[in-house]
Amino acid sequence: MPRTRFADRLAAARADRAARDALRTRREIEGREGARVLVDGRQLTSFCGNDYLGLGQHLDVVAAMQEAAAWHGVGSTGSPLVTGHHVEHALFEREMAAWLGYERALFFSSGYQANLAVMQSLLEAGDTCVQDKLNHACLIDGARLAGCELKRYPHADVEAAMRQLMTRRDGAAMLATDGVFSMDGDAAPLADLALVARAQDALLYVDDAHGIGVLGPEGRGSLAVAGLGAREVPLLLVPLGKAFGGQGAVLLGSAAIIGHIAETARPYLFSTAPAPAMAAAMRASLKLIRTESWRRAKLASVVMRFRRGASARGLPLQESFTPIQPIVLGENAKALAAARTLEEGGYLVTAIRPPTVPEGQARLRITLSVDHSEADVDGLLVALADAVKPAADPIPA
């Protein structure tokens, strides 16, 4: 039997993606000012970024990063347990733990790295990890790499989660979920999941990438909205690339759990620590999130303006009241065509296709921000009515 050649495998895989309208290309962003981005020398209004509160270019955040870089340089010089753990990291971790009511926090370079670290450190063969089918890829990948049994329940189906925990193996169990789902924009039923986790002696772990900063008092996220805290949710992840406008992630939990992860998680032990300047910038973002509640109020207003306008135009809305407003079109080709039409009209909206979303659920993932004006939203709605309505078919339940 002939040996497999990588060149042949890659060519066949690319041909298959092309046949399914699944090819992906990176766009070069040449410049950004608020919601405006420069792409191929042309200014577009972006509705596909995650800088929900407009903090990514806030002068206080930028100044904090510049000052810290001037004092400490651009790199951390090593892994956290060697020379990489800086006073800026420690200050940020303490402030985050105090803000969200946890004993201890741990700063990671990315949310993906953090989720791999959590699963690899806490789970092993014989354990069970139960997850929502629409969880982010890093939660799923983390469980697979941990070698535990991964069970995935239908989206937001609390009873199914309960059944899967009841029929698990004898080992330890974790129930993991997004707080706000990144592609649909809806919220997890956290209060009910907390009851299930408690009844089944499972550790509840929430990745609140798209809820933190946006939802709840002081922007404390999905847990605050559900009336939950460290007792009900022993482990919480706060990624910083969305409402915080930066990079990295903070894991929060008890001193025992966080200490164990810090000492044993390979993705944490063997990665260079984040830049101290990023920690300083994220401290500035945290201050703005806590004190400038008008940002959440404006964001909520922008979201409702979009939903009212989309409903009036008969656009296919999902049950989301967060900044993530997907328009599901079904076929990859339809989503790509709609995205191209929008770009011709001056709007950057990415077509999201499998495997990011399930087969047959290709969509435009529209994200809203405080940087968007009413005129921006109204203009997008007019463009969407032209780009989407002719292509929109009912999506099977």
Q: Domain ends where: 291, 322, 354?
A: 291
Where in the sequence is the domain holding 38, given as residue range(s)?
Answer: 19-48+293-388
Name the one residue in this structure whose structure tokens are 């296709």.
Answer: 353
282 and 212 in a common domain: yes
Which member of 72, 85, 151, 210 is catalytic? Answer: 210
Question: Is 109 marked as a binding-site residue?
Answer: no
The pLDDT of residue 394: 46
Question: Is 155 marked as a binding-site residue?
Answer: no
196 and 73 in a common domain: yes
Residue 237 lies in a domain: yes
Active site residue 110: no
Question: Is 246 marked as a binding-site residue?
Answer: no
Partners of 177 in beta bridges: 206
Instruction: Decide: 224 and 216 in contact? Cβ < 8 Å.
Output: yes
CA–CA dist 207, 68 (Å, integer): 28
Residue 13 lies in a domain: no
- CATH number of the domain where residue 336 is located: 3.90.1150.10
362 and 337 in a common domain: yes
Mean pLDDT confidence for 219-227: 98
Which member of 58, 89, 242, 372 is catalytic? Answer: 242
Predicted confidence (pLDDT) per residue in 339-372, tens digit: 999 999 999 999 999 999 999 999 999 999 999 9
DSSP alpha helix (H) spans, the chain: 6-19, 59-72, 87-100, 111-122, 137-146, 158-166, 190-199, 222-225, 255-264, 266-269, 276-291, 294-312, 332-344, 374-388
298 and 164 in a common domain: no
Sign of CA dihedral 105, 54, 321, 340: negative
Share of residues in the chain with pLDDT > 70 (%): 98
Residue 176 burial class via C-beta count within 10 angstroms: exposed 0-12, middle 13-18, buried 19 and up: buried
326 and 188 in a common domain: no
Instruction: Decide: 342 and 383 in contact? Cβ < 8 Å.
Output: yes
Active site residue 334: no
212 and 194 in a common domain: yes
Task: Tell me the residue ranges of DSSP E strands in 320-377.
Answer: 324-330, 347-348, 351-352, 362-367
Name the one residue in this structure whose structure tokens are 């919220």.
Answer: 187
Which member of 46, 182, 285, 320 is catalytic? Answer: 182
215 and 79 in a common domain: yes
Question: Is 136 marked as a binding-site residue?
Answer: yes
Question: What single letter denotes the amino acid at residue 295?
Answer: R
CA–CA dist 309, 207 (Å, integer): 31
Residue 27 lies in a domain: yes
Q: Domain ends where: 236, 258, 291?
A: 291
310 and 197 in a common domain: no
**Pairing mode, strands 173-178 and 203-207:** parallel
225 and 215 in a common domain: yes
Residue 370 lies in a domain: yes
Quick one: which of 364, 296, 275 has its CA closest to 85? 275
Predicted confidence (pLDDT) per residue in 74-120, tens digit: 999 999 999 999 999 999 999 999 999 999 999 999 999 999 999 99
Residue 8 lies in a domain: no
Residue 394 lies in a domain: no
Mean pLDDT confidence for 322-338: 95
CA–CA dist 122, 6 (Å, integer): 35
Q: What's the distance, Cα to Cα, between the start and end of the chain in Å?
A: 45
Question: Is 110 marked as a binding-site residue?
Answer: no
167 and 44 in a common domain: no
Q: Which long-range contacts (CB under 8 A, 24 or more apart) does 156-160 make?
A: 156/132, 156/186, 156/188, 156/189, 158/189, 158/192, 158/193, 158/196
What pTM was computed for the model? 0.94
CA distances from 241 to 51, 53, 68, 125, 325 (A): 7, 11, 19, 32, 18
Question: Is 86 marked as a binding-site residue?
Answer: no
- CATH number of the domain where residue 63 is located: 3.40.640.10
Residue 189 lies in a domain: yes
146 and 70 in a common domain: yes
The pLDDT of residue 395: 46
**Pairing mode, strands 42-46 and 149-153:** unpaired
Active site residue 389: no
Predicted confidence (pLDDT) per residue in 129-181, tens digit: 999 999 999 999 999 999 999 999 999 999 999 999 999 989 999 999 999 99
Q: Domain ends where: 268, 291, 314?
A: 291
CA distances from 346 to 285, 296, 309, 349, 374 (A): 30, 26, 19, 10, 16
Name the one residue in this structure whose structure tokens are 């990859």.
Answer: 332
Diameter over CA atoms, the chain:
67
Question: Is 345 marked as a binding-site residue?
Answer: no
285 and 311 in a common domain: no
Residue 100 lies in a domain: yes
Structural domain count of the chain: 2
Predicted confidence (pLDDT) per residue in 233-268, tens digit: 999 999 999 999 999 999 999 999 999 999 999 999
